[in-house]
Chain A
Amino acid sequence: MIEGLWIGLTTALQPLNLLMVAIGCFAGTFIGMLPGLGPISAIALMIPVTYGLDPAAGLILMAGVYYGAIFGGSTSSILINAPGVAGTVATAFDGYPMARKGFAGKALAVAAYASFSGGTIAAVFLLLAAPALASVALSFQSPDYFALMVLGLTAVSAFAGRGQFLKALLMTVLGLMLATVGQDVSSDVSRFTFGSIDLLDGISFLLLAMATFALSEALMLVLKRERPSAEAERALRGGMGSLRLDRREVREIAPVIGRSSLLGFLIGVLPGAGATIASFLAYGMERHIAPAGRKEEFGRGSLRGLAAPETANNAACSGSFVPLLTLGIPGSGTTAVMLGALISFGIQPGPRLFVERPDVFWSVILSMYIGNVILLVLNLPLIPYIARLLALPRRILIPLILFFSLTGVYLISFNTFDIQLMVLFAVVAVVLRLAGFPMAPMILAFVLGRLMEENLRRSLLLWDGSLAFLWERPITLGITLLTLLVLATPLIQFLRERRNRPVTAGKG
């Protein structure tokens, strides 16, 4: 482990890789700040750039973008009450009231310190947990992997939101269906290509990610006629105020940061949960345990209410790398996009990654820490200037997003069919978004589709076509039971709500 850590450190500290973290943090902050564009779009837009780099540098760049996007989302949440990312919605609860009171600088500083601390503490957890989990995962066999993938996909659907479970499940199935297009890996038989040579290699993951996130989000901005609000102009005119925190304020937020880091990391490790759930849970927990006099401050500019979600969302980002790097199974849409990028580099994440490619494994973990330092040291002082980008006219920005998305895909394949296919997917994605279907389960399922089919094939061959592998191996049985529990959760929730409804009505 020490040797791997050293290799990772020397890789992460190479000038090119340091530059990549810095570029990633800046680009991520900028993209994450734009309402509508989240970390998935930010990472998808970066993938074509990473193809010219070695895998470690490419992944470091993407990790930087991920952190930057979350931090950028916090900035727009605090300044204009417009979270660029779902994970920073809870940040706006107290960050925006603080900005309205003239403490925008202080709110941004708290967000930056909380993000830094959360990310740093979680990076240490990751450093300890990832190798331990990876060594356990070495004993995993095909049935376990198959069951784990089913669990991951089910959990993503179950955490999709109230009333969204079935829609998220349908999107998961759609993602898996799209993954079956092209030649079958084991038999070389073409499937669902409808005679088109262009579809023989299957649908490119980058094409699908760009179309369903970057392109469709840009089109949604046009569709909803969203303009930079008066709030943005007011915030930019009004100045930031001081960025300094006094000793009393530091003492107040320090324990909050400790608790939220642990909570955020643990939530991030769970497949399907992520920055959004972590930030809401941390906010709720702090409000719940706050002293009686401090409870009323929540929602009106509480430092605790700002520090908790900011710490938790960054810690969850680090946590979400645990299943990706150790099991090769992404727990969120963002890490699914990263998995797709890793596979296209020829790297298969999983328990063997930290043995076979310690440079990639450890340098990514260490670059997360470096990314946090960069966000704090470089981004925070530059925030007043970066925030001016919020006023960049959409009429310039949107065609540029379309251009980068289309050429990003075209430059990989040099096939114009891909551009037309992207347009088609973007249209479908816009329509599905309007109907309330989440996109993240679809991209996650698409990335896992081929791996899932391969593991199912091996499991069925080993068990002579019987599904008994789901309950005959103890690990698989445990994971299967967990999946059933996750599947039952929305049903139990629904039944409990139905039972409570007449009681509440009766009381009122």
Chain B
Amino acid sequence: MLLHRDRVWALIFLALSIAYGVEAQQIELYFGGEDETFTARTFPTALAWTGGIVSFLLLVSPVDPDPRPRLREILNYDWLRVAALLLLMIAYGLTIQRFGFFLSTSFFLLAGYLLLGERRPWMLFLVSFPLVAVFQFLLQGLLGIYLADPFLARLGITG
């Protein structure tokens, strides 16, 4: 028999609470700190115990009889597109400082629209490069937030 989804989550949280509790005991204390009433370990230790107890209660509490149809529904979701968007966000984080805010943000938006099915070239252009240019002007020109941008600096647009 398959383990119910809520029970699996209870086990995950129980494992997390145990790992958190073990890690809490590794928190460094000053010399003689063990004897103090309240140390940096006290609150995390209490949380680990609370997490463990609540996870255990979830594990033993009655559950919905049949979660399988929902699982089937979840498996049919658009996971591929979401994974692609997540990769895109990671890539954005990796490139924003190397290529600058303007280029990386514009390409991030462009790729995002394409991934979600936008194909009109004028629309793709309009809501990426000009939009980011206006946004960056508002940030730097009006709000005075400095954004290091090697690409625009090379073009002589920003300092």
Q: Which residues of A contact B (CB under 8 A)?
A: 52, 163, 166-167, 169-170, 173-174, 176-177, 180, 184, 186-187, 189-192, 219, 222-225, 393-396, 398-400, 402-403, 406-407, 410-411, 416, 419-420, 422-423, 426-427, 430, 434-437, 452-453, 456-457, 460-461, 464-465
Contacts and interface: CB of A to CB of B under 8 A. Distances in A.
Contact of A189 (B40, B58, B77, B105): B40
B11 to A, nearest CB: 12
A423 B93 contact: yes
Nearest to B48: A177
A434 B109 CA distance: 26
A170 B89 contact: no
Given A192-B23, A453-B43, A400 B109 contact: yes
A459 to B, nearest CB: 9
Nearest to A189: B40
A191 B28 CA distance: 8
A419 B47 CA distance: 28
A435 B9 CA distance: 8
Q: Interface on chain A toward B: helix, strand, loop, or mixed SS?
A: helix
B96 interface: yes
A427 B82 CA distance: 10
A180 B27 CA distance: 11
A339 B54 CA distance: 27
B54 A222 contact: no
Contacts of B37: 460-461, 464-465
A166 to B, nearest CB: 4
6 tightest Cβ-Cβ pairs between the two chains A and B: A399-B112, A419-B93, A395-B116, A465-B37, A184-B40, A173-B51
Contacts of B54: 166, 169-170, 173
A36 to B, nearest CB: 14
Q: Which of A420, A422, A435, A461 has the most CB of B within 10 A?
A: A435
Interface string B84-113: 011001101110110000000100110011
A191 B27 contact: yes
Given A222-B116, A396-B113, A180 B47 contact: yes
Interface string B1-43: 0000110010001001100100110011110010001111011
B158 interface: no
A52 B142 CA distance: 11
Contacts of B50: 173
Contact of A219 (B20, B24, B43, B85): B85
A496 to B, nearest CB: 14
Contacts of A461: 37-38
Contact of B118 (A393, A407, A416, A453): A393
Given A166-B57, A219-B82, A403 B93 contact: no
B29 A399 contact: no
B153 to A, nearest CB: 16
B89 to A, nearest CB: 5
A191 B29 CA distance: 11
Contacts of B117: 395
A177 B44 contact: yes
A420 B82 contact: no
A176 B78 CA distance: 32
A275 B19 CA distance: 37
B147 to A, nearest CB: 8
B157 interface: no
A107 B105 CA distance: 41
24 contacts: A167-B9, A173-B51, A176-B47, A186-B38, A187-B33, A189-B27, A189-B28, A192-B44, A222-B82, A223-B81, A225-B77, A399-B116, A402-B89, A410-B96, A411-B145, A419-B92, A419-B93, A419-B96, A423-B86, A423-B90, A435-B9, A456-B38, A460-B37, A464-B37
B13 A170 contact: yes
Contact of A400 (B6, B13, B51, B127): B127
A437 B38 CA distance: 32
Q: Which of A191, A222, A399, A465 has the most CB of B within 10 A?
A: A399
B39 A456 contact: no
Nearest to B74: A434
Contacts of A219: 82, 85-86
B143 interface: yes
Contacts of B115: 399
A186 B139 CA distance: 37
B68 to A, nearest CB: 14
A402 B40 contact: no
A411 B74 CA distance: 35
A422 B37 CA distance: 36
A416 B94 CA distance: 7
Contacts of A407: 105
A420 B90 contact: yes
Nearest to A169: B54
Nearest to A393: B118
B78 A222 contact: yes
Given A400-B109, A407-B105, A416-B97, A222 B85 contact: yes
A344 B39 CA distance: 26
A212 to B, nearest CB: 15
Nearest to B20: A177
A195 to B, nearest CB: 12
A223 B113 contact: no
Interface in B44-83: 44, 47, 50-51, 54-55, 57-58, 61, 64, 74, 77-79, 81-82
Contacts of A427: 86
A411 B39 contact: no
B123 interface: yes
Contacts of A187: 29-30, 33, 39-40
Given A190-B28, A393-B118, 17 more contacts: A52-B145, A170-B55, A173-B51, A180-B44, A192-B20, A223-B77, A398-B116, A400-B109, A403-B105, A416-B96, A419-B93, A420-B90, A422-B89, A423-B86, A423-B89, A435-B5, A465-B37
A292 B41 CA distance: 62
B63 to A, nearest CB: 9
A170 B9 CA distance: 10
A222 B112 contact: no
